[in-house]
Amino acid sequence: MTRGNVVVELVQVQSASKRWDLSRPRTWAIIAVGLLLIALICGFVWMQRSPPNLRYASASATQEWVKAWQAGEVVALVRHTERCDRSTNTCLGPADGITQAGSIAAADVGRGFTQLGLEKTQFFSSPLTRTLQTAHYMLGHDAVAAEWLETCGPTMRNELVAHKTPGQNMILVTHSGCIADFERQTGYPRAVAAEYGSTVLARIDAQGKLDVIGIMNPEGWQRLTK
């Protein structure tokens, strides 16, 4: 290697080192932009784990699924509200039921459904105490107990389609495990676990075609009912 080549290489190394000198503000700015891009990409991937959060849906998207509800094409899977046996809050009654706070939360969710209209709606619940209580406090009357909303499993999606009556919405009060089964079978195998009182909405048309609409968490109903 000639002396000239050595000098050129040294200049290139020094130039590269200078560009990435951590004492320079410009270097930190480049690093910050890179980290921001990585965070945005990771955030997008994370959001795709679960169905869309309908609390943040556009006005046109909201109108579209509300129209489907009015046509009797929607199935709503609602997780029961706060369990008594996993909370320090005051129980509503039996230990296998919900808390008093859970009954209030259930009523709030029920007001959201009432605002949508219940004329074309069938109402079912898992036969366990916590789901039956949630259902009662949601709409002020008992739901029809259905064993398949407790057992769930690999046929959950098909059960929904099979039980759906054309022109009738279905509200199904069930469990987080059942909602997870449904999400796995509809393209969301890594969905975040359903919180107390949250709802997964899906549309099933007259031909039995199912499309997941999104998730409505308890606070999301407040926006809809304003």
With vertex at residue 215, the alpha carbon angle to CA 95 and CA 119, rounded to the nearest 5 degrees, is 85
DSSP string over 107-156: HHHHHHHHHH--TTEEEEE-SSHHHHHHHHHHHSSPPEE-THHHH--TTH
pLDDT in tens, the chain (226 residues): 555 554 445 445 455 555 555 666 666 666 667 677 765 555 544 455 899 999 999 999 999 999 999 999 999 999 999 999 999 999 999 999 999 999 999 999 999 999 999 999 999 999 999 999 999 999 999 999 999 999 999 999 999 999 999 999 999 999 999 999 999 999 999 999 999 999 999 999 989 999 999 999 999 987 775 6
Query: CA dihedral defined by 27, 22, 7, 9, rounded to 10 degrees?
Result: -60
**Pairwise CA distance, residues 94 & 132, whole Å:** 12
Q: What percent of the chain has pLDDT over 70?
A: 79
Q: What CATH number belongs to 54-225?
A: 3.40.50.1240
Residue with tokens 């503000």: 25
Name every residue whose Cβ is closer than 8 Å to that of residue 224 and which is 6 or more positions away in sequence: 62, 112, 115, 116, 216
Please state the pTM of the whole predicted model.
0.79
Residue 3, phi then psi, degrees to nearest 5: -60, -35
Burial class (CB in 10 A: 0-12, 13-18, 19+), 59: exposed
Domain limits of the chain?
3-47, 54-225
pLDDT (tens digit, 9 = 90+) per residue, 16-30? 555 555 666 666 666
What letter represents residue 136's amino acid? H
